[in-house]
Structure 1
Amino acid sequence: MHVCVVGAGIAGLATAYVLQRAGHRITLIERAPDAAAGASGGNGAQLSYSYVQPLADPGIWKMLPKLLLAKDSPLAFRLRADPRQWAWGLRFLAACNAQASAAGTRALLALAAESRQAFEEMQVQEALACDLHTPGKLVLYPTQQGLDAAARQVALQAQLGGARQRIVDAAEVARIEPALAGYAPRIAGAVYTPSESAADCHQLCEQLAARLAARGADLRFGTALRGFERQGDAITGLRTAAGPLHADHYVLASGWESALHARELGLRIPVYPLKGYSITADIPAHLPHAAPRVSVTDTARKVVFARLGERLRVAGMVEIVGPDTRIDARRIDSLRRSTREVFAQLPLDGALRPWSGMRPATPTGLPITGRQRGGPRNLWLQTGHGALGLTLAFGSAQRLAAQMRQA
Structure 2
Amino acid sequence: MRICVLGAGLAGLACAWQLLRDGHEVVVLDREAGPGEGTSRANGGQLSYSYVAPLAAPGVTRKGVSWILDDEAPLRLRPQMDPRLWRWLMAFVRASRREVFEQGTRDMLALAYHSRDVLAALLAEAPLEFSYRVNGKLVVFRDPADLAGAARLVEFQARHGARQQVLDARECLALEPALADTAAQLAGGVHTPDEAVGDAHHFCLGLRNALAQRGATFLFGREATGLLVRNGAVAAALTAAGPVEADQFVLATGIGALSLAEPLGLSLPLYPLKGYSLTVPTRTGDRPPEVSITDAHHKVVYALLDRAAPGAEGRLRVAGMVDLVGFGTDLVERRVALLSRQAREVFPAAADWPRAEPWSGLRPATPDWKPILGESGIGRLWLNLGHGGLGFTIACGTGRILADLIAGREPAIPAAPYGLIRPKVPRGG
TM-score, normalisation: structure 2: 0.92
| Residue 95 (structure 1) aligns with | 95
1:263 to partner: Cα distance = 1.1
- Residue 394 in structure 1 maps to residue 393 in structure 2: no
Q: Distance in 1 between matches of 2:118 and 2:212?
A: 20
| Residue 17 (structure 2) aligns with | 17
| Residue 142 (structure 1) aligns with | 142
Per-residue CA deviations over 1:344-402 (Å, capped at 9, x if unaligned) read 22353442111000000000000001112xx2221001110100000000000110011
| Residue 373 (structure 2) aligns with | 369
Is the 1:259–1:270 Cα contact (8 Å) retained in structure 2?
Answer: no
| Residue 348 (structure 1) aligns with | 352
| Residue 255 (structure 1) aligns with | 254
| Residue 291 (structure 1) aligns with | 288
Q: Distance in 1 between matches of 2:351 and 2:18?
A: 42
1:277 to partner: Cα distance = 0.2
Change (3 A) 1:334 1:18: same
Instruction: Choose from 310, 319, 322 the match for 1:318.
Output: 322
Q: Secondary structure at the match of 2:181?
A: coil
- The equivalences for 1:157-176 within 5 A come to 157-162=157-162, 164-176=163-175
Residue type matched to 2:100 in 1? Answer: A
- Structure 1 stretches of at least 4 aligned residues deviating more than 4 Å after TM superposition: none
Is the 1:57–1:97 Cα contact (8 Å) retained in structure 2?
Answer: yes
Change (3 A) 1:355 1:334: same
Q: Distance in 1 between matches of 2:67 and 2:50?
A: 27
- The equivalences for 1:86-125 within 5 A come to 86-125=86-125
Residue type matched to 2:386 in 1? Answer: G
Residue type matched to 1:355 in 2? Answer: W
Greater CA drift, 101-110 or 62-71: 62-71
| Residue 132 (structure 1) aligns with | 132
Residue type matched to 1:356 in 2? Answer: S
Structure 2 unaligned regions, length at least 5: 307-313, 410-429
Q: Distance in 2 between matches of 1:48 and 1:265?
A: 35
Q: Distance in 2 between matches of 1:101 and 1:403?
A: 26
1:32 to partner: Cα distance = 1.1
Residue type matched to 1:270 in 2? Answer: P
TM-score, normalisation: structure 1: 0.97
Per-residue CA deviations over 1:114-167 (Å, capped at 9, x if unaligned) read 1000001111111111000111000111111001110111111111222x1010
Q: Distance in 2 between matches of 1:73 and 1:297?
A: 16
Q: Distance in 2 between matches of 1:33 and 1:204?
A: 16
Per-residue CA deviations over 1:241-277 (Å, capped at 9, x if unaligned) read 2101110000000001112211122110101110000
Greater CA drift, 176-185 or 342-351: 342-351
Q: Distance in 1 between matches of 2:126 and 2:200?
A: 15
Q: Distance in 2 between matches of 1:340 and 1:227?
A: 45
Q: Distance in 2 between matches of 1:245 and 1:346?
A: 48
Greater CA drift, 302-311 or 229-238: 229-238
| Residue 242 (structure 2) aligns with | 243
Q: Distance in 1 between matches of 2:388 and 2:236?
A: 28
Is the 2:288–2:351 Cα contact (8 Å) retained in structure 1?
Answer: no
Is the 2:281–2:351 Cα contact (8 Å) retained in structure 1?
Answer: no
Instruction: Choose from 363, 376, 379 the match for 1:359.
Output: 363
Structure 1 unaligned regions, length at least 5: none
Is the 1:282–1:350 Cα contact (8 Å) retained in structure 2?
Answer: no
Change (3 A) 1:325 1:190: same
1:63 to partner: Cα distance = 1.3
